[in-house]
Structure 1
Amino acid sequence: MASRQMFLKGLKVADLKRELEERECETTGKKADLQNRLKEGLENEVTVEEFQNKFLEVERKIATLSLESGEQQRVVNTALKSPGSDIDRLSKPELSSPVEISKIRMKPPQFDGKSSWVNYLRQFEAAARANDWSLAEKATALTLALRGDTTDILQTLSLEEQDDYHQLVKHLEMRYGQSHLEHVYHSQLKNRYQKSNESLQEFEADIARLVRLAYSSTPENVMEQLAVQAFLDGLRDTETRQALTLARPSKLVDALARALEFEAAKQSCRGQAKVRRMEVLKKEPAMKQRLGESPRRYWIRGQFGVGMVLRYVTLGVAILKRRKHRHHLKRMSNTQTNGGE
């Protein structure tokens, strides 16, 4: 570096310009500018010695990386040949210490005595299963979930009964449950019939509610059969009841679906019968004018079995008149023959 500075100071302006021209640099300006410009050019140049030094340094780095890569490959090969070493390391005490896994805690809803106790108990049991609670934890959680007047029941329990989950549920069931009202629901279900302004969906929903309240401890399949029978017995329309009896649905939802389908088909048939009757009534004046008298009326059941349809049988009336006229002529002929004799 010092030798370069001495070299630059010893050069004249003409020498500086010549050196700059050789390096294709600008040659205008003062001597100091020319010196600085030539200095920058010399710094950017790399001598043969410097290039050799850099090349040797790169070779040393490559050799070092090769050694490190070989060492890593040797370690990998050793690990593959002896897999038991990893198992031994995993069995160390510091790695076998218990690890605490955080769980999502499901908070049970609160019970104030105003909502259904049966529905609340199902929600509480679901939260207890999700949290994996023991009986003691369930008793504590249920005690803390009581609100309002329901907390008064704790005054009637001893500490042992309060900590006993089954005893706590038993006392709450006696106070807020509906098991003692089953005979009332039995009577309501027996006397439940579809109202005049009640849809099939509303009637089915109330039947399902009463059956579940009246037979809460009954198996599900038996409860379905009881619900279907109560639904059939309470239907307002006789034809719908007969159609469902023949269909024999096994579930209440199936009975409701069949009833809705039959009601829709019946409404469609009624519309078609009404159209046919209107067509007959429109033809009545022309028929009276052609026959000169009112035709005889015959009541004939429609082909769909819905209602009685009024039909006019004009051909039968004409045939009866013709037979009567022939019978009269025959009698007159017989009378004349007998009189001549």
Structure 2
Amino acid sequence: MHWRSKFKIFVTGLAAVLLVSCAGTATTAARFPTRTRVWPNEPEGTDEPRIAFVQDLRGPRDVGRNPSAFRAFANWITGDTGENLNLRKPFAVALDEAGNLCLTDTDDKLVCYADFTHKQWRRYAKVGKVRFASPVAVARRNGIFYVADSELGKIFAFGDDGKPLFEIAAPLQRPVGLAIDGGSLYVVDSQAHGVFVFGLDGKFQFQFGRRGDGPGEFNFPTCIAVNGRGQLIVTDTMNSRVQVFDLRGNFVSQFGSNGDTSGHFARPKGVAADSAGRIYVVDAIFDNFQIFNPEGQLLLNVGQSGAGPGGFALPNGIAISADNRIFVADAFNHRVQIFKYIGQP
């Protein structure tokens, strides 16, 4: 349609739009469609479904942030669909105390914050005057964002306004994973083959790990999580295993090995634990996530290569809310997939 025709429609419809907008704009809640997929797909005997697909999250509209009637009409006139704010390559995900979602986009080189409480979507491309180069991990506590940039070799801390609070550089080389417990920030460094621990004020506390394949040693680790037992769970990626430590870095246990069948790993990346202590491990090669009990025994695997519900294309980060909603960064499908644990506790 020619722009002049659109303009005529705009003028004639403007009054009606203003009347609607003056009456108040209804904001729809985030989309949570009827369950379209469950796992296991075909339960046998008493094996009931445990995981249900809930929704995709691709951008502002999926947190309930819809434009006003006037803005929607103006966007139609200009042809602006709002898709320029959508995710391009989501990489890491994390949840804050309120259950709101932090994520990084390594293609757009920014950090996004999906505030489900206030239906807001915020984006941060820089801290102060420093632009992100490769934001690969994020955490948030007490209103402060902590972002690991692997290319810059730093952790950046900043507030909601995007103003820098402090940064952590040396002794870090290539920080790639973050987790917070209590007053400590745990940082996985893939190039140093270890974990560095700092206070939430950025002050160094201690470190553990070195390169190797023995207990407590790493070969390019990537992600870290804290479970309800007060234990650290680290994906030891190139050793194709998961290692568990106490909060002081003392080795507790390990599980997994290289292989192409369920219970094995090809490229373990994101890791998280739910309210019952079950451990979820994303595998970027398998295009799925596997669920283990706290002792490391396989319970279920979810997903496969694809683009539909439960289909993945290079998944990476994972985070789990207090009510067992599961958020998985699905990088090349340009979305975060949300699932729900629906089985028995």
Same fold (TM over 0.5): no
The higher radius of gyration belongs to 1
Shorter-chain TM-score range: under 0.3
Higher strand share goes to which structure?
Answer: 2
TM-score, with length taken from structure 2: 0.20
Larger relative contact order (CA 8 Å, sep ≥ 6): 2
Higher helix share goes to which structure?
Answer: 1
